[in-house]
Structure formats: structure tokens, C-alpha cells
Amino acid sequence: MIDRRILSWIVLVAALLLALALAAAIGSERLSFFDLTEQQAAILFDIRLPRVLLGACVGASLAVAGASLQALLRNPLAEPYLLGVSNGAALGTMIAFVFFEQFAFARPVMAFAGAGLATFTVYQMARSRAGMNVERLVLSGVIVTTFLSSIIVLLTSLLDAARLRGFTFWLLGDLSQATMNGFYMTLAASVIGTIVLTSQARPLNLMMIGERDAMDFGVEVSRVRLIVFGIASLLVGTAVAASGSVGYVGLIVPHLVRLALGSDNRHVIPFSAMAGAIFVVLADTVARTAIAPRELPVGAITALIGAPLFIYLLRKN
Amino acid sequence: MHPAITKTLVICLALLSLAGLSCRSVDLPTVGTPTRDVRDDLGKTVRVPEKIERAISLAPSLTEMIFAIGAGDRLVGVTTYCNFPAGTASIEKVGDTQSPNIEKIIALKPQIVFISTASQLEAFQKTLDEQAIAVYVTNPTSLTEIFANLRQLGDLFGEPERAQSLLGTLSARVAEVSKEGNIQGGHRVFIQISNEPLFTIGKDSFLTELVELAGGVSVTKEVATAYPKLSKETAAALDPDVIFLSDSDDNREPNPAFKNSNAVKNGRVYRINADIISRPGPRLVDALEEIASKLDSRRTSASPGNSNVDR
């Protein structure tokens, strides 16, 4: 019998390739793949593929960020959205858009800064003399999230109507603004992020038992924490800058992976990357084609699938 | 005194004074003035005074219409978006079209409030109903209906002759354009409402009809809803001959999906003042003339045959 994990690797890689191929094959325009006209080639290579590939990277980034935050905080609800990381990134992106529109790299940089700042604030709020308290952390996350939401609402109210429409769409998670540059940036972040976080899987495994126990095993808890927070901010920042807030990916995907493979982070983190990619690519395929030639925001689809699935998982366990 | 008690007292006083401010007496519109019943665009019966002296407009298009029929002096409140004609500058602003200030509206004691479905304020109507303020809703989806609105407004404000002569002028201008435009119609036109995300006009927009009157055909005329978000793949495949941009900060360039289109290759991308093109009011005829002249002036340099997906 083949090792279950090797089998899972094969299955997931095959599923990812299949999802990418499917997403590339379907769209609002029918393409004759064996005899592409110049126009069809432009549609495939300039519009569809960048979007599909970006979707894969965004999905991987969000799922990996979710998986590692959940391990670090020993809380299955720890998710970029719940902790305010996504809203920090969203606010950063909006500020970049309003004030630094002329700089091409302002959006991802500001998104990363926003995500990092939100994470840092939540972390500082949650830290007490007795050490890190998980309930306090989740509570701080909720407070920072709602606070940032209100600033976002305030900003959208100050913007004029035409811009407002763009932002409402973008806040719901929208991959239609995909470019090759955005894809490269998100690809770099997701690959580096997944590798770095997978390298921290062993200490994270120990920390899941308890931070004190991990310290006894020689884990530098504060260093691991810094790496996870930093990399998660980078992943969420680049994902949000490219596509707005695509929800539920960081919550649902690691859960499913753990259900299938157990909770060893050496597998949960890289597998979440692939499963997250598959989830978002397929969800975006629905968003692109369901009411073609019109479009839905992909965040609406992930939430539509994610929320009931999450309730189901919650009740089943 | 104990500081906590002092604090409580101060807060109580502050709250009381606030309450006092908010219950300044408000006079409802005088009862007893002669009224009549009319039907608005939603088919709702509205009781309006025989002679309207104090009206509020909650849509820039309606403000322009009311001014155009010569009743601008009877507007006591407009929105912050109502920037035309110049006379609007001195009229009290009751907030923007997204969130008008109900207290201000009541304080201005209007006999009637005009709302357009174009500004999506249907929900606000309920609030005004509760305050016993007459609400008249317009829902123009074509130039014909805009003209019908002008006639109704002329009638409501007791300015039927003025409205009639305005309609005469506007109709003549439309007829003039259509006469020329119909000679060589068929320019495939794309109207870009916003660049990122890509919004355009669909079959329910009055602009679809306007493009046709100008001698073109909207390439998105089959798409559902009035202002759909369009797939970029479809945008690229549509390959329009001419692109019009509703001119605003974030809509100065055609979407990258159009980079290989005839319109971009032949430099046939034009900006049109967003206020003119987006408001279903009398200036829509200006937009019509502008679109027609752009379609017309370069007719000779129209695109070469298009071998790609044609639909």
C-alpha cells in the first residue's frame, strides 16, 4: 500500500493541474484552442490565464496564512479576517489608491504595511504579563477588525460615487483586475511564504501542544511567532492588494486538509497551499461564467460555499 | 461634590440639551391648500398641492429638469451632486444622493419631494411617507420617458407652455441628429462607465437607446441590467469601433482589454462629461449630439473590415 501522504500529494497535484486546465478552458468567451485567432490568443494569454494563475496564488496565500495562524494561536477560528489582518491590508490598499495612485508598487507595499500593523496591534493588545492569552488575542482581533472596518466605511463615504462602486466590488473580493505583474508578485509571495512557514512546521507542531512545552523542547517561541506573523502579513497583504478580500479560504481550506490528513503542520501547510489554490480557481471559474457576460465577485462565491460548509464541519465535530 | 457624580450630572445635562434641540417644533405642510391627485412613474397616486411653491429634488437629473421648465426658483433643497445649472449653487443642500439628511428635508418644509429611481433612493421614500411629505418618483428609461417627465413636471409646477416649448426644441434637435445619423448607421459603440472594475451599459440603460439615435449600435445592448460589470474576455471579443468614456478620475483610459480593438487602433476613443451622459435629464440631448458628432466627424476613417468574431 502506498503511503497515504504520498497518495495525497499525487491526488492534490493532479487536482490542481486539472482545476487550472478547467479554468483555462472555460470562460465567458468560447475559444477554439486548436486554432486560436489573434483575438482569442489575446483573450487567453492577456485576460484569462493571468486571472486563473493569480486566483491560484491568492488561494494558496490565504490558505497558508490561515493554516499557520491557526497552528500558532492554537485556535481553529484564527483566520486572517478574524484577526484584522485582511482589513489592515484592505485599508492599506485603499490609502495607496487614494493618496499614492501614481506609484505602481504602492498598493502591495501599503497592503503589507497595513496587514503587518494590524497584526502587530492585535498582538500587542493580546500580550499580557502572563504571556499570550488566546481568548484575548481573538477578542483583540475582533476589535481591530471592526475598528478598521469602520475606517474603511468612512473612507468609502468620502470617496465620490464612481470610485465607490469600484471599491464595493473590490472589497468583496474580485479577481477581474488581474495583471501578469500582480500575478508574479503574488506568486513570489506565496512560494516564499509557503516554504518559510513549512520550515517552521516542526516548532509549530510543538507549540500546538502548548507554548511552555515547546519552550522545554528548545523552541524559540517568540521567534517563531514573529516569523509566522510577518509571513502571514506578507501573504495576506499581497493577496488583498491583488484581489480584495476573498473570504473563508483561510478558514475552510486548512480545516478540510486537517480532516483528511491529520494536524501535522509539515503536511497541513503545503497541502493547504494547493487546496487553497484549487478552491479559489474553481470559485472564480463560477464567478466568471455563472451569469456571463456579466461577472460576480469571487468573494461572494467563496463565502457562499464556505459559510455552510463551515457550519456543517462545526456541527459534525 | 464627588467627581463621579459631577461627571454623571454633566452627561445628563448634555443629553437633555441635545433632546431639547431635537424637539424644536416642526410645522407640517399647511393643510387646507387645494390639492389634486396625480400618478407618478411607479403608478403610485400622489396628492400634490395645486400650486407647488416649495419642492425638493433628490436627483441631479430632476434638478436640471425642474430648472429647464422654469421652476428652479421653487426648489428649496437639492443634493450636493446638483451642480447644474448655476442657480443650484444658492439652494440649500440636503446631503448627497446616497444619504440625504431627513431632518434637513423636514426643516425645509417642502410640499413635495422628487426622487428618481436613477439615484436608487426608493427606500428613502418610506421615511418621507411617514412624515406626510408628498413623494413623486420618476423612472425614465428612455429619451421618450425623459420627455414625458418634462411634460409631467411642467404640468405639476403649472408651467405647461414652458415645458411644451422646451420639448419642441429638444425634439427638433433629436430629429436633426437622427436624420443625419441614420444615413450611415451601424458604428459598433462601447460605452465605458468605469475602467477597473469594467462597468458598461446594458439593455436597460437609456444610453443604449441614445447610441442608436446617434447612428451607432451599443455592442452591449443584449447584456442584462442597466449598468453591468462586464467580463473582460467578452469586452475584448466585442471589438468595438468606437469607445466613449464617461469622464471621471478613474475612467480616463479605455480598459486594457480593448488594446487590440478597432477603436483603440484607430484612435476612436472619446471622453464625454460624466454629468451629461449619466443624468437622464434635458442635457442628455447634448450627449446625443456629442456622440453623433464623434461618430460622424470621422466616418470616412472608419475601421477596415473586421475578420474576427463578429456578433
Between A203 and B32, the more confident residue is A203
Mean pLDDT of chain A: 89
Q: Does B231 touch chain A (CB under 8 A)?
A: yes
Comparing CB atoms, the residue among B97, B233, B250 nearest residue A166 is: B250
Distance (Å) from the alpha carbon of A177 to chain B's nearest alpha carbon = 7
Residues of chain A in contact with residue B248, where contact means CB-CB under 8 angstroms, are: 160, 162
Q: Do B196 and A39 touch (CB under 8 A)?
A: no
pLDDT at residue A159, as a whole number: 72
Q: Output the CA–CA distances (angstroms, integers) from residue A153 to A156, A168, B121, in the order listed.
A: 5, 10, 19
- The Cα–Cα gap between B55 and B73 comes to 9
Question: Chain B residues with CB inside 8 Å of A37's CB?
Answer: 308-309
ipTM for the predicted complex comes to: 0.86
- Mean of all residue pLDDT scores within chain B: 84
Residue A294 has pLDDT above 90, yes or no: yes
Would you state the pLDDT for residue B23?
43
Q: 504579563: which residue's cell?
A: A129
pLDDT value at position A290?
A: 94
Report pLDDT for A132: 65
Average pLDDT rounded to a whole number, residues A118-136 = 79
Q: Which of A34-43, A281-290, B164-173 has the lowest mean pLDDT?
A: A34-43
B35-58: pLDDT as tens digits: 888 889 888 888 888 889 999 999
Hey, is the C-beta of B83 within 8 angstroms of any chain A C-beta?
no
Return the number of other C-beta atoms located less than 10 Å from residue B285's C-beta: 22
Peptide bond into B197 cis (omega under 30): yes
Q: How far apart are CA B16 and CA B14, in angstroms?
A: 5
Q: Report whether pLDDT(B290) > 90.
A: yes
Lowest-pLDDT range of A207-211, B127-131, B260-264, B296-300: B296-300
Q: Do A29 and B233 touch (CB under 8 A)?
A: yes
Nearest to A177 among B196, B220, B231 (CB): B196
For A237-248, the pLDDT digits (tens) are 999 999 988 988
Chain B residues 244-263 within an 8 A CB cutoff of chain A: 246, 248-251, 256-257, 259-260
pLDDT band at B120 (very low <50, low <70, confident <90, very high): low
Rounded to an integer, the average pLDDT of A153-176 is 77
User: N- to C-terminal Cα distance for chain A?
Assistant: 29
At residue A317, the pLDDT reads 62
Which region among A118-127, B46-55, B203-212 has the lowest average model confidence (pLDDT)? A118-127
Structure confidence at residue B248 as a pLDDT band (50, 70, 90): confident
Number of alpha carbons in the 13 Å side-chain half-sphere of residue B109:
8
The amino acid at B79: T
How close, in Å, is residue A308 to chain B by CA atoms?
Answer: 27
Q: From chain B, pick out residues whose CB is under 8 angstroms from the CB of A43.
A: 233, 236-237
Mean pLDDT of A124-142: 77
Q: Do A294 and B98 touch (CB under 8 A)?
A: no
Say if residue A266's pLDDT is above 70.
Answer: yes
Q: Which of B233, B234, B249, B310 to mutate to test the interface with A (most CBs of A within 10 A)?
A: B233
pLDDT reading at A183 higher than 60: yes
Question: Among residues of chain B, what percentage have pLDDT more than 90?
Answer: 57
What pLDDT is stored for residue B300 in this prediction?
A: 38
Cell of B242: 468606437
Query: Which chain A residue has its CA at the smallest distance from B228's CA?
Result: A294
B231 and A292 in contact by Cβ < 8 A? yes
**Which of A29, A48, A165 shows the shortest C-beta gap to B199?**
A165
What would the pLDDT profile of B163-194 be if each residue is shown by its tens digit? 999 999 999 999 988 875 454 567 899 999 99
Number of Cβ pairs < 8 A linking chain A and chain B:
95
Per CB-CB distance under 8 Å, the chain B contacts of A165 are 194, 197, 199
Out of A28, A43, A177, whose CB is closest to B197? A177
pLDDT at B15 over 90: no
Residue A172's Cα: distance from chain center in Å?
13
Provide the percentage of residues in chain A whose pLDDT is more than 90.
Answer: 54
Helices (DSSP H) in A2-160: which residue ranges? Answer: 4-25, 38-42, 49-73, 85-99, 106-126, 134-158
User: Does B219 score more than 50 pLDDT?
Assistant: yes
Q: pTM above the 0.90 mark?
A: no
pLDDT score of B181: 47
